[in-house]
Amino acid sequence: QTELIHTFNGIPFSTRVSKELLQSLDTFEAREDDVLLVSYPKSGTHWLTEIMRNLYHSHNEDNGVSKVTLTSPLEFGDLSKFDELRNLPNKRLIPTHLNYEMIPVQFKTKKCKMIYVIRNPKDTAVSLYHYYKQNPNLPKIEKWSTFLEMFLKGEVVCGSWIDHVLSWEKSKTDENVLVLYYESLKEDLPKYVKEISTFLGINVTEEQVKDISKKSSFSEMKEKAEKEKVNPNHTVCVLTSNKKLIFRKGTVGDWKNHFTSKQNARFDELFNEKINSSELARRVEYES
Ligand code: A3P
């Protein structure tokens, strides 16, 4: 088996993310109108890209929004990626799983808009477990209990969930950063489609909000993914271009079908103190 994971700055990354790219992140030239979509894996990245893509497509010619390209993740591939993005004439919507420290400095100094989406860590762990089981780009995992231990120790791709959220804590008062929760979107999607449109400065009608909410529902996205041919150049998640691996259940609370009460107690024991110390993590909900 070829190497699937390498470690950089103590964090496990897919080998689809090159070390030289990670070393050069701070040389990345951001543009003021770039939009970053940031997440820990399995937090709803594809969902958000669908909402944002539809929002940009729904605009009228006269509201001044330029053409937008959803690029592959910032950290995906090797250094040639930076040239590729430099040569892109359109406004760039860039997904990434990087923690706040690793985000190229120019995105911060130029105050680019960034959306950070958070999902409750128990459902995130379950979703990532199934991803490990099905995704050939991730190491083989046999048992849930083994995986949960890896997750708790931060020995999974992108490292510890709580460290990722804690790193973004620093940005929580920045006006250019919008923090969203997977569970809130599940509860009232139209409300957040509107909030995202306001944040991005896109005018949409009530009708368009309704239409976008429908198009980005789990069932419609899953159905579309099943019909779509896999295109290796269309990558939202570093770990796969195969969207069929993404739409599993799309619910809140699936963790209850996986965690034993002992595992739940261990999770709370290891995570709760840090979660309570973080304003962003504290707001996480476990069921709708
Ligand atoms: P599950 O494995 O729990 O089903 P990411 O896009 O960051 O890889 O996250 C994938 C998770 O988001 C999967 O969770 C997937 O089903 C869920 N998801 C994707 N689109 C969704 C949607 N439109 N509504 C709700 N959940 C969605």
pLDDT band at 80 (very low <50, low <70, confident <90, very high): very high
Other CB atoms closer than 10 Å to residue 128's CB: what's the count?
26
Report helix angle 261-277 to 144-153, nearest 10: 20
SS3 content of the chain, % helix, strand, coil (to 5): 50, 15, 40
Beta strands in 148-206 (DSSP E): 177-181
**pLDDT tens, position by position, 258-285:** 999 999 999 999 999 999 999 999 999 9
pTM, to two decimals: 0.96
**pLDDT tens, position by position, 91-113:** 999 999 999 999 999 999 999 99
Q: How far, in Å, CA of 32 to CA of 152, rounded?
A: 37
Which residues have any ligand 1 atom within 6 Å of their CB?
39, 41-47, 123, 127, 130, 216-218, 221, 237, 246-250, 254
Other CB atoms closer than 10 Å to residue 6's CB: what's the count?
14
Integer-rounded Cα Rg, in Å, for the chain is 18
Give the burial class of 116: count Cβ atoms within 10 A of its Cβ; 0-12 exposed, 13-18 middle, 19 or more buried.
Answer: buried
What's the ipTM?
Answer: 0.99
CA–centroid distance, 47 to ligand 1, in Å, is 6
| pLDDT, the chain, mean | 95
Active site residue 234: no
**pLDDT tens, position by position, 224-255:** 999 999 988 889 999 999 999 999 999 999 99
Asked whether residue 169 carries a pLDDT value surpassing 50, the answer given is yes
Mean pLDDT for the stretch of residues 75-85:
96
pLDDT at 172: 84
Nearest to 111 by CA among 197, 199, 29, 33: 33
